[in-house]
Amino acid sequence: MAEIIRPSSVLPALRTPFHVHTTDGVDLIGEVAAPIGPSKASILTLHPLPTAGGMMDSHVYKKAANRLPAMAGITVVRFNTRGTSSDAGSSTGSFDNGDAEGLDVQAMIDYCFEVLKLENLWIVGWSFGTDLALRHAKDPRHKGLILLSPPLRTTTDEELKYWNSDPRPILALVPEHDDYLRPDEAKKRFSIVPKLRIIPVEDAKHLWLGEPAVHRVLSEINTAVTGDKSPLPVEF
């Protein structure tokens, strides 16, 4: 009998905790949630602002790890940036407003390719994580960026313009009622990167609260990384 997907749903996956060390000696903690069968694609998630409660267990990412391996064959890699804690544990080091976190991003990309041997890897940033992605996720091995609620808080215009010289796709999901950057303003701010595709999401807010918002986000991630244009099912 099919199970209706609920906020608390945890579908089958191979879940493995890990530790990764950065080049400056920070110990990052995280978890891989992989499909029990073949993996079609993989995502490395960069979480919201830790000083405002963001972490690897922020609800959209926890639900991605709980659902996408079984529903879409996507491997989900989550971790806490330096100085961030969650139920899984705490990464060492101190919050650096997105600067030293660049070393965290690179260490995790290296781990995804060199240890996990992932293929078709995409970087997914949410809020603070979108600034990390735009500023630091330039490693040529990943396939592109997916931005959720980008505030453009610390990313400079020069850092944005870099992506005009990089052929990989960038997709931004911008909530209609975002607290920081709404669709019309996002189109202006991102106009210096014409290839960046903005998807306005009606009725959504910065934190993507509510099951319809989560379903939309996870469906768009699935479409971007696997090419499956159908929305995710609402039961399993």
pLDDT of residue 197 exceeding 90: yes
pLDDT in tens, 47-73: 999 999 999 999 999 999 999 999 999
SS3 assignment for 89-130: EECCCCCCCCCCHHHHHHHHHHHHHHHCCCCCEEEEEECHHH
pLDDT digits (tens, 9 = 90+) for 94-103: 999 999 999 9
pLDDT of residue 188: 97
- Residue 141: its pLDDT value, please? 98
pLDDT category at 195 given cuts 50, 70, 90 is very high
121-135 pLDDT, tens digit per residue, is 999 999 999 999 999
Question: Which residues lie closer than 8 Å to 231 by C-beta, 6 or more apart?
Answer: 215, 216, 219
Q: Does domain 14-226 match CATH 2.40.50.140?
A: no
pLDDT value at position 138? 98
The helix/strand/coil state of 189 is helix
Closest by CA position to 131, among listed 144, 147, 142, 143: 147
Average pLDDT over residues 19-32: 98
Q: Which residues, in sequence order, are CB contacts of 147 under 8 Å at separation 6+?
A: 125, 130, 133, 134, 170, 171, 172, 173
CA–CA dist 9, 164 (Å, integer): 40
Residues, the chain, total? Answer: 236
Q: Which helix (DSSP H) or strand (DSSP E) does residue 43 occupy?
A: strand 41-46
* Cβ–Cβ < 8 Å for 4, 233: no
Q: How confident is the model at residue 3 (pLDDT cuts 50, 70, 90)?
A: confident
Please state the domain extents for the chain: 14-226
pLDDT at residue 37 in the model: 94
Beta carbons within 8 Å of 120's beta carbon, 6+ residues apart: 40, 41, 42, 143, 225
Looking at every residue in the chain, the average pLDDT score rounds to 97
pLDDT at 144 over 80: yes
Whether the predicted pLDDT of 1 surpasses 80:
no
- What mean pLDDT comes out for the span 71-83? 98
Distance (Å, rounded) from C-alpha 232 to C-alpha 103?
A: 34
Q: Is 156 helix (H, G, I), strand (E, B) or coil?
A: coil
Average pLDDT over residues 27-56: 98
Question: Token pair for residue 178?
Answer: 């975002």
Kindly state the percentage of the chain with pLDDT values over 70.
100
pLDDT band at 181 (very low <50, low <70, confident <90, very high): very high
pLDDT of residue 2: 80
